[in-house]
Amino acid sequence: MLRPGATIGILGGGQLARMLASAGARLGLLSHIYSPVADDPAFDVCASRTLAEFSDEDALAKFAAAVDVVTYEFENVPAATAAFLETRARVRPNPRVLALTQDRLTEKEFVRDLGIETAPFASVEDAGALARAVARVGRPSILKTRRFGYDGKGQIFLRDGADLAVTFRALGGAPCILEGFVPFAREVSVVAARGENGEFRAYDVCENVHEHHILAVTTAPAKISGETAEAAVAIAQRIADAADYVGVLAVEMFVVEGSAGEQLVVNEIAPRVHNSGHWTLDGAVTSQFEQHMRAVAGWPLGSTRRHGRVEMRNLIGADAEKWRDILNEDGASLHLYGKKEARPGRKMGHVTRVFPEDA
Amino acid sequence: MLRPGATIGILGGGQLARMLASAGARLGLLSHIYSPVADDPAFDVCASRTLAEFSDEDALAKFAAAVDVVTYEFENVPAATAAFLETRARVRPNPRVLALTQDRLTEKEFVRDLGIETAPFASVEDAGALARAVARVGRPSILKTRRFGYDGKGQIFLRDGADLAVTFRALGGAPCILEGFVPFAREVSVVAARGENGEFRAYDVCENVHEHHILAVTTAPAKISGETAEAAVAIAQRIADAADYVGVLAVEMFVVEGSAGEQLVVNEIAPRVHNSGHWTLDGAVTSQFEQHMRAVAGWPLGSTRRHGRVEMRNLIGADAEKWRDILNEDGASLHLYGKKEARPGRKMGHVTRVFPEDA
């Protein structure tokens, strides 16, 4: 258990690291940001900074020596970086979960092996394997690179009649996974935390709407039955326990409405704080960022109680220009990430609105 | 009206500056902290830093050139510093209010001249004047240095029979003010903000309990009648308007219960965010820190709506050692200011508890 005044090292300097550092400061924890990107927004709110590549072992060694625990804001921390740091510092969550979630195939296998429902999937190492995979998984389906995909990048929707060889080449010939399309009624996620001692606390299941493969709106609670919500949280806990996870994680799930009622299908695990948990900053007693810092510091987890019905809307690209209107709107909470350039598709901030529970 | 990405210069680097900087970051505003104290806690959460004396005109000139507006976390900014900065940068709130509130005598006169009730008072330039002041104001009364007093420092309670010459010498012979003791039923404060365009928003009046002259507990709302609460807010607005104030201010008042009901007596004006407004971080839609940053940026003010009945308790000196218990308490929100040394009487942090309104 760290003491206040301890230093949390954070790999990555984006908005998630920024909000983690701010949450840590509130608790008297110092943050040391490690990022190769000079104008990363987390550098503006932290006590110490390392501007270096993730492959720079001198910088990594100094970083490890300067902090009390290492955590990360993104799952694509290079395996070699994580392995190097692990010999020199406590890394939380443990890097095994990085290996697991960096590869869509091992992630899906891990979930399936826990007896949890996933979309049908098959490994695709080459164009020939794609034909066999399509035969097994069917269409429509989605071909995804196994590694480095996010926000819809590195994936192609496969309809009837699409040319398989062309499709495979379009993803650069990288190892892929074919996933059957799930005809979902809604997308939900469970944002939860597991502490050092196995303590587990989930926020209420929230519902997500994506636009152009990027999260647009999250509302909490999700419009699902209480039974389904309980099942979703139980799935997240099973995953966290199996990975011996410490910190906040998000499990994205599809809700399929069938004759037997609502059914849950796990889509993805994010081993970090998650965009669909941003509503907790204004809408819950403990934010997901504070919760993660508590967990990696070895501290008890905080209350996940909601303040009301909550809506979080991302400000993507030019949406950030709406800041004046949002500031003028009574009860809206504006968050801007301090990014210098509002490129299309770039997450610039978000706005949260909390409504009375019964409205 | 500043744009997100603008830089707010803050004079002082204590916990108030720290919480201002964090609130600004949430809105996409950068903070530049100016303080002569190397280990000041605000340095840990800001984008830019100047470590220099307030008399260092080179450093002040560079600071003024680097920021879009200057504000401050404490009212004892030297008059010369404020005057120097005002020729080079926008300073908000305007420094006239510093001159006004740095001197207890001019502050009391300002309030009295607005037709607002204060304790009876008299100026005391020397031991002889003290005898005349006592004859006018009576006893019990309190002799206070006109300048640089805080948290009970620089003041002596004057009972019947106390030796006046000894008492005056005990305060170093500095110019003083004698204030009649107000037999108050409770102490309350109005934390409010005034915007660039005169917009005014107050938080619900809160109630303060001091121990050893230091704020111990604030609860919101105060246990006063709706009529008294309205009158208290109106007093704060009259003061803010008269001072052409921009930013958050706090007005401390006594509530006296007489035959004619509750009566308000203004005790002190703090031209800054205030300890009795810390509850707004967890207990209101917009915190006082965000509100101040909005005001000095020329932005519209945010909602001051409370989330429930709120209690804020300061962690003074060794109280900070209670952090483990507080982390373990469901629903308690811990704030630690990152101060290295827990000296007796030093404000190390605070804890907020929000309860349902009707409880």
Does residue A124 carry a pLDDT above 70? yes
Which tens digit of pLDDT belongs to each residue from B218-248? 999 999 999 999 999 999 999 999 999 999 9
CB-CB: which of A30, A44, A354 is closest to B25? A44
B300·A327 Cβ contact <8 A: yes
CA distance B123 to chain A (A): 43
Give dist(CA B253, CA B260) in Å, integer.
Answer: 18
End-to-end Cα distance, chain A: 42
What pLDDT score does B162 carry? 84
End-to-end Cα distance, chain B: 42
Q: What percentage of chain A reaches a pLDDT higher than 70?
A: 99
CB-CB: which of A5, A25, A294 is closest to B22? A25
CB-CB: which of A5, A22, A331 is closest to B25? A22
Does residue A333 carry a pLDDT above 70? yes
Q: Can you tell me the mean pLDDT for B180-199? A: 97
A323·B26 Cβ contact <8 A: no
- Cα dihedral A222, A226, A227, A232, rounded to 10, equals 40
A338·B25 Cβ contact <8 A: yes
Does residue A292 carry a pLDDT above 80? yes
Residues of B engaging A, defined by a Cβ cutoff of 8 Å: 1, 4-5, 18, 21-22, 25-28, 30, 43-47, 282, 285-286, 294, 299-300, 302-303, 305, 307, 320, 323, 327-328, 330-331, 333-338, 340, 349, 354
Which tens digit of pLDDT belongs to each residue from A86-122? 999 999 999 999 999 999 999 999 999 999 999 999 9
What pLDDT score does B160 carry? 87
Count CB pairs under 8 A between chains A and B. 94
A285·B354 Cβ contact <8 A: yes
Tell me the two tokens of residue A103: 């590869």
Q: Can you tell me the mean pLDDT for A209-232? A: 97
A44·B30 Cβ contact <8 A: yes
Peptide bond into A4 cis (omega under 30): no
Does residue A358 carry a pLDDT above 80? no
Residues of chain B contacting residue A299, judged by C-beta atoms under 8 Å apart: 327
CB B192 within 8 A of CB B201: yes
Which tens digit of pLDDT belongs to each residue from A155-178? 999 998 888 888 888 888 889 999
Residues of chain B contacting residue A22, judged by C-beta atoms under 8 Å apart: 22, 25-26, 45
Give dist(CA A122, CA A132) in Å, integer.
Answer: 9
CB-CB: which of A5, A307, A323 is closest to B4? A323
What pLDDT score does A150 carry? 67
- Nearest chain B residue (CA) to A328: B300
Does residue B104 carry a pLDDT above 80? yes
- Nearest chain A residue (CA) to B31: A44
Does residue B170 carry a pLDDT above 80? yes
Q: Can you tell me the mean pLDDT for B51-75? A: 98
What pLDDT score does A127 carry? 85
pLDDT tier for residue B283 given thresholds of 50, 70 and 90: very high
Which tens digit of pLDDT belongs to each residue from B300-331? 999 999 999 999 999 999 999 999 999 999 98
Q: Can you tell me the mean pLDDT for A178-189? A: 97
Residues of chain A contacting residue B10, judged by C-beta atoms under 8 Å apart: none
Give dist(CA A21, CA A39) in Å, integer.
Answer: 16
Q: Can you tell me the mean pLDDT for B180-209? A: 97
pLDDT greater at residue B213 or residue A31: A31
Q: Chain centroid to CA B77: how far?
A: 13
CB-CB: which of B47, B333, B337 is closest to A285? B333
**Residue the block writes with tokens 């097994």:** A136
pTM beyond 0.90? yes
Which tens digit of pLDDT belongs to each residue from B149-164? 766 778 999 998 888 8
A44·B28 Cβ contact <8 A: no
Give dist(CA A328, CA B280) in Å, integer.
Answer: 19
A299·B327 Cβ contact <8 A: yes
Residues of chain A contacting residue B340, judged by C-beta atoms under 8 Å apart: 5
Tell me the two tokens of residue A179: 């996933």
What pLDDT score does B208 carry? 98
CA distance B270 to chain A (A): 24
CA distance A284 to chain B (A): 10
Residues of A engaging B, defined by a Cβ cutoff of 8 Å: 4-5, 18, 21-22, 25-28, 30, 43-47, 282, 285-286, 294, 299-300, 302-303, 305, 307, 320, 323-324, 327-328, 330-331, 333-338, 340, 349, 354
Q: Can you tell me the mean pLDDT for A189-211? A: 98
CA distance A294 to chain B (A): 9
For A114, other C-beta atoms within 10 Å of its C-beta total 15
What average pLDDT does chain B have? 95
Give dist(CA B171, CA A49) in Å, integer.
Answer: 46
B346 DSSP 8-state letter: -
B331·A303 Cβ contact <8 A: yes
- Nearest chain A residue (CA) to B2: A324
A22·B18 Cβ contact <8 A: no
What pLDDT score does A154 carry? 87
Does residue B179 carry a pLDDT above 90? yes
Give dist(CA B101, CA B276) in Å, integer.
Answer: 18
Give dist(CA B359, CA B355) in Å, integer.
Answer: 7
What pLDDT score does B359 carry? 52
Which amino acid would we find at residue B294?
Answer: R
Give dist(CA A281, CA A191) in Å, integer.
Answer: 13
Does residue A148 carry a pLDDT above 90? no
pLDDT tier for residue B172 given thresholds of 50, 70 and 90: confident
A28·B300 Cβ contact <8 A: no
What pLDDT score does A173 carry? 85
CA distance A199 to chain B (A): 12
Residues of chain A contacting residue B337, judged by C-beta atoms under 8 Å apart: 28
B335·A26 Cβ contact <8 A: yes
CA distance A2 to chain B (A): 11
Tell me the two tokens of residue B326: 């507080």
B44·A46 Cβ contact <8 A: yes
Map out the domains of chain A with their CATH numbers: 7-91 (3.40.50.20), 120-180 (3.30.1490.20), 186-355 (3.30.470.20)
Does residue A359 carry a pLDDT above 70? no
Residues of chain B contacting residue A305, judged by C-beta atoms under 8 Å apart: 331
For B130, other C-beta atoms within 10 Å of its C-beta total 20
Which among A143, A98, A313, A291 is positioned nearest to A220, based on CA atoms? A313
